[in-house]
A and B are shown apart, each in its own frame.
Chain A
Amino acid sequence: MADKHTNLIVSAAPHVNAPQDTASIMRDVCIALIPAVSVAVYVFGLQALILTLVCCAACVFMEWATRRIMGRPDTTSDWSAMVTGLILALNLPVSMPYWMAVVGCFVAIVVAKQFFGGLGQNFANPAIVGRIALFIGFATQMSTWAVTPRMSSAIVNVAGADAISGPTPLGLLAKGSAVPTNLEMFLGNINGSMGEISAAALIIGGVYLVIRKVISPVIPLSFIGSVAVMSLVFGLDPIFQVCAGGVMLGAIFMATDYVTSPITNAGKVIFGIGCGVLTMLIRMYGSYPEGVSFAILFMNILVPHIDSLTKHVAFGKEKGGKK
């Protein structure tokens, strides 16, 4: 992360020199998302790839244009706008009109990120803000879920043979209909947002990120774990609840954003459990069938408070003491 800080004067060698910088981290996130994009293209067809490319291009262009207009140094080379575009695309249904997706990119990059000062200053994950703005602003388009022959028979049968859209597994569950099997849920033979369908592909990406030390497994494990525990409390199938909706995508790729997650491990556990509990509460009692993005946004806003509660006590100082 020392690439742009040429105005810092550093003294007293030796220094640890790590090859990791913002761009390499963001590149790793992009690589980790390849399995999820591949599954989306396999299940939904080529349009999934086109929508993903449109989102990435729009985000990178808006990052470049906004920083140019505001007279700030160009940051497109740190790949963060690319990651935002990719994650936002994976949060959209495949049938989303392109211009609406571009509006979402505008909200994510310009409003949620650059208006607050760019990478590192954003109060919440830009992709989440973009997704929620689209979800509230274009409610119909954001909850039209395409059905293709590669999906579970539970979905295709309910939708009808010629239907182009049908209910998601969580929608089926809410109506009390038969749901896809857990194996179908895990592999991704279901509908939903492009990137959230396959738990398997997302876990592969997550394991890659953990091995490359890009993310710490604390947030994903506490997030997914608390969703599983909460579903047992409510008497639901934990495997179904964990694989359904955006839990995997949110826990592995969105809740782990450095800028908007707590620093200490204790803080990360609180953050992950908060996300998981809120997700399940929204699923059970909220008016929306899915609550991952709202849960993460809410916890994002609490991060400064979590950080100040879980500050490390410096060696030799008393707990709670200020000096």
Chain B
Amino acid sequence: MEKKSKLSIFTNGLIKENPILVLVLGTCPTLALSTAAMNGIYMGLALTFVLTCSNIFISALKRIIPDSVRIPCFITVIATFVTIVQLVIKAYMPELDGILGVYIPLIVVNCIILGRAEMFASKNTIVDSAIDGLGMGIGYMIALTFMGCVRELIGAGTVFGMAVTVNFLTPFSIATLPPGGFFVFGCIIALMNKLTKGKVREKQENKCMGCPGSSFCSKSQEGGCDQ
């Protein structure tokens, strides 16, 4: 993989390879937790912490971990940090534990973290991996918070718990229910595609756009594989 500047590694996760809106990873907690804007911030912080720490450790251990058992090793590292986050939240923020509930332990099997460990941290330096983890985590947080804002505004008439339209309009509560989550998710992805059209075109010439592995596949730099 060719050398990238530190800044481009960081901004990569924000827009171009946003884990939710472009890579469409980790959809389950996204749909379940984006019912309110504040949830996005909390979940984003938890995920950013785990992602950055696990990226650093996996990058540091990449020469020790045998290739054939790398997935169990990655999960062990990730589970360690998830346990730290979970116990801290349980101890100091019991209300938050009630909101995020089962989705904190589920970070262990979150595709974003495992994906970044596999595709980035196990191939790059410690500093680059840390920056990648931070960028991806913040990209996740922004996307989740934005989606939470939209769903909270439509479904409850508030944003970050502050009344916006709730006093004069009846909230359209379907937006905070599961079907509304899918509708809003689809609309935001469509909007994102529309806004990043230029970049999408650029990749299409590379013939790798339709491939989920385009961002990390070594052949995408060479102009695409045979498939």
> Which residues of A are at the interface with B, using a C-beta cutoff of 8 A?
97, 99-100, 103, 111, 115, 133, 136-139, 141
Q: Which residues of B contact A141 (CB under 8 A)?
A: 170
Q: Which residues of A contact B173 (CB under 8 A)?
A: 136-139
Contact A111 B183 (CB under 8 A): yes
> Which residues of B are at the interface with A, using a C-beta cutoff of 8 A?
169-170, 172-175, 177, 179-180, 183, 186, 190
Q: Kindly report which residue of chain A lies nearest to residue B176, judged by CB atoms.
A: A137
B112 to chain A: closest CB distance in Å? 27
Contact B177 A136 (CB under 8 A): yes
- Cα–Cα, bound, A316→B172 (Å): 56
- Cα–Cα, bound, A103→B173 (Å): 12
Contact A133 B174 (CB under 8 A): yes
Contact A136 B170 (CB under 8 A): no
Q: Which of B175, B186, B190 contacts A137 (CB 8 A)?
A: B175
Contact A138 B170 (CB under 8 A): yes
A130 to chain B: closest CB distance in Å? 11
- Cα–Cα, bound, A111→B172 (Å): 15
Extra contacts besides A137-B172, A138-B173 (7): CB < 8 Å: A99-B169, A100-B170, A115-B190, A133-B179, A136-B177, A137-B173, A139-B173
- Cα–Cα, bound, A138→B154 (Å): 12
Q: Which residues of B contact A111 (CB under 8 A)?
A: 183
The binding surface of chain A is classed by DSSP as helix
Contact A136 B183 (CB under 8 A): no
20 contacts between A and B (CB under 8 A): A97-B170, A100-B170, A103-B172, A111-B183, A115-B186, A115-B190, A133-B174, A133-B179, A136-B174, A136-B177, A136-B179, A137-B172, A137-B173, A137-B175, A137-B180, A138-B170, A138-B172, A138-B173, A139-B173, A141-B170
Q: Once A and B bind, how many residue pairs between them come within 8 Å at the CB atom?
A: 23
A112 to chain B: closest CB distance in Å? 10
- Cα–Cα, bound, A138→B171 (Å): 8
A71 to chain B: closest CB distance in Å? 12
B156 to chain A: closest CB distance in Å? 11
B171 to chain A: closest CB distance in Å? 8
Q: Which residues of B contact A139 (CB under 8 A)?
A: 173
Closest 8 pairs between A and B when the two form their complex, measured CB to CB: A137-B174, A137-B172, A136-B174, A137-B173, A133-B174, A103-B172, A111-B183, A138-B170
B175 to chain A: closest CB distance in Å? 7
- Cα–Cα, bound, A111→B37 (Å): 23
Q: Kindly report which residue of chain A lies nearest to residue B190, judged by CB atoms.
A: A115
Q: Which residues of B contact A133 (CB under 8 A)?
A: 174, 179
Q: Kindly report which residue of chain A lies nearest to residue B170, judged by CB atoms.
A: A138
Q: Which residues of A contact B179 (CB under 8 A)?
A: 133, 136
Q: Which residues of B contact A103 (CB under 8 A)?
A: 172
A107 to chain B: closest CB distance in Å? 8
**Residue of B170, B180, B186 contacting most chain A CB atoms (<10 Å):** B170
B121 to chain A: closest CB distance in Å? 38
- Cα–Cα, bound, A162→B180 (Å): 38
B80 to chain A: closest CB distance in Å? 41
Q: Kindly report which residue of chain A lies nearest to residue B154, judged by CB atoms.
A: A137
- Cα–Cα, bound, A139→B170 (Å): 11
